[in-house]
Amino acid sequence: MPYVNVSQENSGSIDLYYEDHGSGKPVILIHGWPLSGRSWEKQVPVLLAAGYRVITYDRRGFGDSSKPTSGYDYDTLAGDLHKLITKLDLREVALVGFSMGGGEVARYLGRYGSERVKKAAFLAAIPPFLLKTPDNPSGVDGSAFDGIKAGIAADRLAFLAGFFANFYNVDVLGGKLVSEQVVQFSWNVGAGASPKGTLDCVSAWLTDFREDLARIDVPTLVVHGDADRILPIDSTGKRTQELVKGSRLVVIEGGPHGLNWTHADQVNRELLDLLSKKS
């Protein structure tokens, strides 16, 4: 199993698990909360078949990566991504971030620039800024995030069950575009994550990415479902497209948050279209 060392905690190293398959131009898929690289099951085979080198990795605290008690802020998480890119010496890479993974894409490009990056994609992603403030009136009141933290602290596993019901809009799409087994699998992956990391990431969701997005200078795709209950499109996808110069917004009709599974064919078509275009 391949790992990249990103830091140290006391006597133990902090290592990220990654998978690196195929050849051609590299594509890094960055997963959402509280999942792992395994959540890209519907995308990896398609990208490999199209001739791309596909790299997935597990964020610190999640999947098969180390589970430290610190580092769940976007500066650190983007630094982890930078260490992976540097270790593999990737050039002309496409960064694809789903949900929380969109934050790594934004912060990486805002901090490290596009020297190694050719294209970017935000899928049901968290930018630009979720928290309601005087200069961000369309954001979400901070008390909502306090409630999420309280729910995780009280019973993380029960909280995740409710979260995934809304992640896939199970009441509408269950048995049609998503099976009970897929929802259970997502819960299993989330349940195996670091409890501390799961909780601490909620604070990271309040990161302001507006300046990062304004610095993006590569072709960028934004894909979002208009039925996303976790990150509603009006507060996220539409505003991200407005802030990234020249970016393209694709709205998936009826798409829930977990659209990379429920609407995989549409998502994959848009990704391949982005990747295939010369820039």
Active-site residue numbers? 99, 228, 257
List the structure tokens of 53.
């080198």
Answer left, alpha or beta for residue 94, where phi above 0 means left and psi between -120 and 50 means alpha: beta
60-90 as b/e, with b when 16 or more CB fall inside 10 Å?
bbbbbbbbbeebbbbebbbbbbbebbeebeb
Q: Residue 200 and residue 60: Cα distance in Å, rounded?
A: 12
Q: Which residue has the tokens 């992956």?
A: 189
How many Cα atoms within 13 Å fall on the side-chain side of residue 123? Answer: 30
Spatial CB neighbours of 97, under 8 Å, sequence gap ≥ 6: 30, 103, 104, 105, 106, 120, 121, 122, 123, 125
